[in-house]
Chains A and B, each alone.
Chain A
């Protein structure tokens, strides 16, 4: 009898231990980040609640144990925050960029009303979650609001309320292969400024075939691009984001300039299906002289020993059209999910504010090895300076914010592209005029915009 009881207890303990190990293993990569040190005795809980709180942060492209930028910066951010707030434990969940992860977010936040306490998000998703009542309003003071870039704050405002913390503004611009410019005797744009005509002229000269048969193209962009349609003043929507205006005379003129680039055959023949990774790979392989990509590619080039800034590559502004200098830009946000647990919500806001605030950059820079937290210029003036200190190219990018057109948040923007993309392709292939193509898109785009504004 005793032996039986003893055996039962041992089995139970064994199973409990096994269960605990199982849970630990299952939570491993997503559990409290291994990078987090034990909180120091002298650490002070200055912002978050003193009661122990555990938060879940969902960050796209976070992959525990890898060296990608999202992982390094996220681990660093958690480590730095916990030093100041030792009572807060943060686990990070990742997921690749793309529809599958987007759906994971939607299912958790919209359907199950659970999942992340804090999450990194972009564009229309902010409005979508806010409309569903799933975002907790950031407790920002008037001074803090004034510290944010106005268009970034507008993009995260839903029915008069700011619903998330603007994180950064990601501008698109031109990367220049200086070796190819030198080889063809083309002078790079002075201070990165050039007109459309100067740009096209350079692209034409930089499109050539070497004696060994290797074809070089003057210019390339990925198939997720719209920026050329801005250069003569074209904008997607009117100021109130109520009317679709991407078939205005200015937008048509911009598309015509783009069509002209295609006509000149300065782009690779597969430019209509060239995805962002492939276009980047072509530039790195030395097949493209000018590549249009966002700021994240700076880190890719810096990580490659054969690409030395100022010697092999440089950046330049987007070519200037009929109006003032412009650029295309996207926004990143940190949002806090609405929930009943007040302690968690307070800690989540403290963390979100830290992730978007002025302290995180210097805190991570002091780490060993230093971590460059800002992958794009911060959307908050007080936090923006440090991005330019990371690298000379980034210092130039930091100045682009003043003329970058920040894409307004419209929850149906992805769907609008279902019509806009083929129209752009038809124009670039010469199957339709720019006006025909954009006029055909307008009714469907307006319908989707109206739906987003409901």
Chain B
């Protein structure tokens, strides 16, 4: 142990700056949030109240609605984004090298846009008035306009649709890169056995992409749990009758509008536990010892 420390100890110096930043800006706030969640914390301090904040959340209809909306949004959006990324990457794969690079860049480029700007564009697309783009399209094909974000029945669907229709550039690039490194001999063997393109995709490509799928699934789930700006901009932070309110939106208003930092921290802790629990399930169900 000592010999190892003597030999490799200096290498920890290289990790130290990043690790220090991680501790100060990530780890400590997380620990502090756990502490605050057990207090009646306001801006001027707070008292220890044990699990009372969690009881308050369990009884709060708005939090329950936010929880339901967040779960529904995450389920639909993550499934759709993974599928879309996989399909788009698969369509790019057979193309030439230059075309592949072009399409990867094309799908990744929108990610550099401000999320607020993108959400504002979607707000206009799903405007409830006839001049909203979605309603204009519906009108052109003979359908009546919909209320979209102007109705509590349709607002969450519109927000989900806006996320689903935004092709996940990061996922396309990762899947595309992973597909490029899959062993050719498996495909050649399948071809000898007479397998078609779809069969090869289903029985070779998808199973071998499990590690990438697991990574994207975990990341996309966490990102979906954290949805905020899309809801904030498209539906003024919760939509009609709180139809689109999500946990992070509620954390924001509870902390910064109502000044209840303890309660907001309790919400963040619930979200954290949800994310960890889902990630554990995802790791267990998709963990793979596939090597190629």
Contacts and interface: CB of A to CB of B under 8 A. Distances in A.
A422 B241 contact: yes
B152 interface: yes
A433 to B, nearest CB: 14
B43 A431 contact: no
A418 B253 contact: yes
Contacts of B256: 99-100, 102-103
A223 B44 CA distance: 31
Interface string A415-449: 10011011001100101000000000000000000
A127 to B, nearest CB: 13
Given A103-B256, A110-B43, A111-B44, A426 B236 contact: no
Given A107-B43, A111-B44, A270 B152 contact: no
Interface residues of B, number: 28
A429 B152 contact: yes
B181 interface: no
B168 interface: no
B241 A132 contact: no
Q: Which of A103, A128, A414, A418 has the most CB of B within 10 A?
A: A418
A415 B149 contact: no
A415 B240 CA distance: 17
A273 B257 contact: no
Contact of B241 (A102, A110, A414, A431): A431
Contacts of A419: 62
B43 A422 contact: no
Given A111-B44, A273-B236, A425-B241, A415 B258 contact: yes
A297 to B, nearest CB: 19
Interface in B142-187: 145, 147, 149-152, 155
Given A223-B236, A275-B236, A415-B258, A270 B129 contact: yes
B39 to A, nearest CB: 15
A422 B129 contact: no
A435 B239 CA distance: 22
B43 A270 contact: no
Chain B interface mostly: loop
A215 B239 CA distance: 24
A106 B239 contact: no
Contacts of A270: 127-129, 147, 149-150
Nearest to A424: B241
Contact of B150 (A99, A215, A269, A422): A269
A79 B44 CA distance: 35
A269 B147 contact: yes
Contacts of A422: 62, 238, 241-242
Nearest to B245: A422
A223 B150 CA distance: 11
A414 B258 contact: yes
Q: What range describes how many residues of A lie at the interface?
A: 20 to 34
B129 A425 contact: no
Contact of B235 (A273, A414, A415): A273
A115 to B, nearest CB: 13
A269 to B, nearest CB: 4
B68 interface: no
A354 interface: no
A110 B41 CA distance: 13
A268 interface: yes
Contacts of A111: 43-44
Contact of A132 (B44, B130, B253): B44
B259 A273 contact: no
B63 to A, nearest CB: 10
Contacts of B130: 215
Contact of B128 (A102, A269, A426): A269
A271 interface: yes
B150 A102 contact: no
Interface in B125-149: 127-130, 145, 147, 149
Q: Which of A99, A100, A273, A275 has the most CB of B within 10 A?
A: A273
A418 B147 CA distance: 23
A271 B150 contact: yes
A106 B240 CA distance: 29
Interface in B203-230: none
A432 B151 CA distance: 14
A270 B130 CA distance: 10
A430 to B, nearest CB: 11
Contacts of B62: 418-419, 422
Contacts of B259: 106, 128
Interface in B31-60: 43-44
Contacts of B240: 272-273, 425, 429
Interface of A: 99-100, 102-103, 106-107, 110-111, 128, 132, 215, 223, 268-273, 275, 412, 414-415, 418-419, 421-422, 425-426, 429, 431
The 5 nearest A-B residue pairs measured at CB: A272-B240, A270-B128, A270-B150, A425-B241, A269-B128
Given A273-B236, A415-B258, 9 more contacts: A99-B252, A103-B256, A111-B44, A272-B241, A273-B239, A275-B236, A419-B62, A426-B241, A429-B241
